[in-house]
Structure 1
Amino acid sequence: MFATIDYLKHGNERQQKAFHAITHLRVMKDLADYKPVLCGTIPIEIDVASSDLDIIFEVHNFTRFQEQVIALYGHMSDFKISQYQIRNKPIIKANFIYEGFEFELFGQAQPVNEQNAYRHMIIENYILNEHPHLRQPIITLKTQGYKTEPAFCMVLGLEGENPYSLLLKYGEERGII
């Protein structure tokens, strides 16, 4: 379902605006070699006013990706790009503002369907489809400042130190991912 952004065309008002912004910016076309996938809260309709457009990429040549991203979006408002490590894995991330959305372009040398952002979204989407009554409590927690994964863990009663790992474990144990 999330392989393309076509589903946004017929989604809620914010999803349609996101579709327009992403399409107008040509992110999915101009960076198609990196197999982009939109992740996060907007695709699964639990976004809040501060939610950004998280697009993940499979990037093996960080220098080439950085050069392309700077050439394409370096002129955008609040543009910044950085490279660092998360859990000993190198990543590259660019942020900027366009048509009222904060874009976050996130790349790592891993297939997009194996990246945690994608895996979390698949689990969260499954949970919302199976338990639609959880949508509003999660949105409420998000408006109170909770990040998505901790909010899911709270409503599911999952306890532990790392809600990101807990949610992955939840999905793995249930065969969701």
Structure 2
Amino acid sequence: MSRASYRDAIQHTNVLTALAEHDPHVAGTPPLGLDLPTSDIDILCYAPDPDRFTSVLWASFRSHPEFRIWQWIGADRPVVATFVAQEWRFEIFGQAKPVTEQTGWRHFTLEQRLLALGGQNLAATVMAFRREGLKTEPAFAAALKLQGDPYEVLLDISDLDDDALSLLITEAGN
């Protein structure tokens, strides 16, 4: 038996409704069409009050298998929770900055643009790297033959216009 679609899993868990006050955005490989059997469902949230966000996560998801919650150390101290539902691992990330400014969302929207511009050839190349064990951002960087830290280099190109991105895709042979 195969697991539910990521959309069905999201609907079944009611995760977007539970997190509605935190502006949840679905990101990651399933909506990009680049998921593997081990892929999770990423939900990015705006959490200006980490204590409130943690309370919502605890109240909403603590009964799910493998529920865990933690808060990073650092400047804005994001809160992360994970759990399993519908044979998917969910990872919920809350940060005290709007989702559209978060690194994970910036990567995701760039990857959407790249796939729209590069089509099936780029998607196939990225998937080949993913099947070899690379995470999403390193797979995109490898497919585009970009040098340096893949997470930083993707942020660096995220402000390029579509023509410049198309040129990168073409020059990489995709």
TM-score range, shorter chain: 0.7 to 0.9
> In the TM superposition, what is the alpha-carbon distance from 1:17 to its structure 2 partner?
1.7
Q: Describe the SS at the equivalent of 1:56.
A: strand
Letter in 2 for 1:173: L
For the residues of structure 1 that align with 2:36 and 2:95, how far apart are their CA atoms? 26
C-alpha contact (below 8 Å) 2:129/2:143 kept by paired residues: no
After TM superposition, the score normalised by the length of structure 1 is: 0.85
* Matched-pair identity in %: 33
Structure 1 CA distance for aligned equivalents of residues 41 and 12 of structure 2: 14
State the partner residue of 1:105. 92
The Cα of 1:173 is off from its aligned counterpart by: 3.1
- Hey, what's the Cα distance between the residues in 2 that align with 1:85 and 1:142? 29
* Within-5 A mapping of 1:60-139: 60-85=48-73, 88-132=75-119, 133-139=121-127
What are structure 2's unaligned runs of at least 5 residues? 165-174
Separation of aligned partners in 1, 2:49 and 2:83? 21
1:146 equivalent to 2:134? Answer yes
Kindly provide the amino acid, as one letter, of the partner of residue 33 in structure 1: E
Q: Distance in 1 between matches of 2:125 and 2:110?
A: 17
Question: Could you say which structure has the higher strand fraction?
Answer: 1
Partner of 1:10: none
Do structure 1's residue 58 and structure 2's residue 55 form an aligned pair? no
Structure 1 unaligned residues grouped into runs of 5+: 1-12
**Separation in structure 1 between the aligned mates of residue 98 and residue 52 of structure 2, nearest angstrom:** 17
Q: 2:34 aligns with which of 21, 25, 46?
A: 46
State the 1:37 CA deviation: 0.3
Kindly report the root-mean-square deviation, in angstroms, between the aligned alpha carbons of the 2 structures.
1.8
Paired residue type of 2:103 = N
Task: Report the CA distance between 1:152 and its aligned residue.
Answer: 0.6
Q: CA deviation at 1:170?
A: 1.1
What is the match of residue 167 of structure 2? none
Q: Please list the CA deviations of residues 84-107 of structure 1 after superposition, one character each: whole Å capped at 9, or x if unmatched.
A: 146x33100000100100000000
Structure 1 runs (4+) deviating above 6 angstroms are none
The offset of 1:174, in angstroms, is 3.1
